[in-house]
Structure 1
Amino acid sequence: MTNDERGDEPLPPKRPRRRAPSVGPAFVAFVVAVALTLTTQLVAGMAIGVWYVVTGGNAKRLAADLPDLLADTPIFVALNLVNQLALLATAIAAARIAPVRPRGGLGFVRPALTAWGYPVLAIGSLVPLAVGVAGAEAVSLVAPPDETFGRAFEKVTPVAAVPFVLFIALVPGLIEEAFFRGYVQRRLLARWPAWAAIATTAGLFGLIHIYPANIVFAFLVGLWLGAVAWRTGSVWPAVLCHASINAASSVWNLGTRFGVIPADPPNSAMGIGGVLALVCFLASVRLLARDPSKRAPEAAQEAG
């Protein structure tokens, strides 16, 4: 007896199951980003060298003078901006051409996070910052550190300090998170367990920083940023944490250099700051461990 004879309605056709995105494009995008960044650095370095000679510089001293030249504030900012734009272009292109895209594109969706969670995450990120600095310092004992940032901070003038800090905080904070936590990690999460996706993304994030101490620092901080992006379902909180880490580090370096912050702060001030950061970090961990619907019911379905 057929369905019509029984009077039954025909069963609706089964909706084809959406295939999870492949992880391969994430690694291809990383290789492309590294190649593009190195190429832009090489071209920019050659242009700076030509400019140096044309403007009267001694060609024989170019190699010796180049490190200080690259640390000059306008040149340093311009080179880093070019690198960041190359990273952003790779992220956008990879997300657009993928035949199967992860939900949310680059992750700029509404996070499952209440309003009070933002400052807690920002302050709590000082703990991963301290862990990253400790790891970098340990590696620096056995491997030469990158002196580029040190030279760049030494050349920043008081007038340029605020724009410099804003650039270091906002531009890498936004663009690096768009690429790593927004594109790479979300694509890996579609196939892999969360711990594997976060650790792998943090490893790639570390590798792009080249120097051993920088790699360790970026890897340790990247684990925290990856967890934040994963648990909130959005890249925005990770952008905030990344910007907070970069801003705190830059303010400390420039503040001690200009004498605004004591090079050896009072123990009481360090203790209060440390306790505040630790309390916010523990509150952040507890917040991220909660169910998304309890973190922000109105955003729970949009994030992810």
Structure 2
Amino acid sequence: MNILLWHVHGSWTTSFVQGKHRYLVPVNAERDAWGRGRARTFDWPDTVEELPLDQLCSKDLGDVDVAIAQRPEELDLIPPHVPVIYVEHNTPKGDVPNTRHPLADRDDVLIAHVTHFNELFWDCGATRTTVIEHGIVEPHARWTGDLERLAIVTNEPVRRGRVTGTDLFPRFAEVAPLDVFGMGVAGLSGVTAHDDPPQHEMHTEVARRRAYLHLCRWTSLGLSLIEAMQMGMPVISLATTEAIAAVPPDAGVLSTRVSELVDAAQWLIDEPEAAARLGARARQVALTRYGLDRFLADWDRLLEEETCASR
């Protein structure tokens, strides 16, 4: 099957393109948001081919079987004969829980949410919806926890502020040194910022920290959280959005009381055996629920259904 999709979310796309299909990714000279082409910091197979953006816009692509859209603006660039599945990565922004999805009440597209929380909170009207939960390429790194430090992986915490729980960082930094990894972390005070490190290096370093902090108040389920769990890390998380479904009680500590999470961080710093026990369970759960094979099988089933229905 020939699948057209834009390089928007690198981590999610890395999992998606591990399937058995041919993937056409638009590219332009600027390699900007509309034509990034193949990833340069993720390992993508040779079945991912770059498609010049001007060719997509100027001709009818007869060999495309289905398109995966991730932004509303992409719909105008997709040839009209091609069936479309819209992947919704994000929680709604706006008048929650009454936020209307930009593709609400359409009969020409299927919205595939990445979490059940997202499907519940978006108002999609009469548009068909489904949920395909995340699946990831298992990281090579394994948790050791030999450093009495805490790790966070998040993007743009300075700009996003309360959304990513940036205001909560100092409370945990009082317990143990806090390392924050991701894009746009430069400028954070009171922590050690690791700005946009290569993924494999980041995994190795994160896995040495005693516990993983997930302090996002309002976000879809972060792939970095699942990666930490598959590496065998114990999790300390706000009990918000999909995290409460992803992290069972015996794999971490979840609460909406920040003081309880701060106490949990101190406990895991002081008790490495407890951290190892929680981390082992986190790895077991994440490998089962968010494994790559299940993810690709779910997508194969949906792709086959949608392409058959359009014939």
**Fold shared per TM-score above 0.5:** no
Q: Which has the higher contact order (CA 8 A, sep 6+)?
A: 1
Structure in which a larger fraction of residues adopt strand: 2
* Structure exhibiting the larger radius of gyration computed from Cα positions: 1
Please give the TM-score of this superposition, normalised by the length of structure 2.
0.28
Query: Which TM-score applies when normalising by structure 1?
Result: 0.29
